[in-house]
Amino acid sequence: MTKKTKITIDYSRCGDGNGIDPRECCKCLQTCAPAVFLLHQTLGAEEPDPFDPKKWRVTPQWPSLCTLCMNCVKNCPVNAIEVKQ
């Protein structure tokens, strides 16, 4: 039986209107060869202008594809990503 990879993101450092804006950074998305991450607007976010959303989030949508290369962790400028198996 293979172990499940667990990827967590500290949203106080990246996304949800806190810390760095993931739309401007995208380092984890750019360096992840198997494309584990998904960039999307935070669910339930209420913005005065729906065409200019501020609360975005990167979610590890497909952790089973993770190859444990740790490029996402190494390239995150705010150390918001943790990968465990």
Specify the 3-state DSSP secondary structure of 78: coil
User: In this structure, which long-range contacts are made by residues 47-51, counting pairs with CB atoms below 8 Å and at least 24 apart in sequence?
Assistant: none
Asked if residue 3 is part of any domain, the answer here is: no
Tally of domains within the chain: 1
| Cβ neighbours of 81 (radius 10 Å) | 24
Q: Tell me which residue range forms the domain holding 34.
A: 11-45+52-84
14: part of which helix (H) or strand (E)? strand 14-15
- Flag whether 26 is in a domain: yes
Please give the chain's pLDDT, 85 residues, in tens. 567 899 999 999 998 888 898 989 999 999 999 999 999 887 766 767 655 667 889 999 999 999 999 999 999 999 999 999 8
pTM attached to this predicted model: 0.85
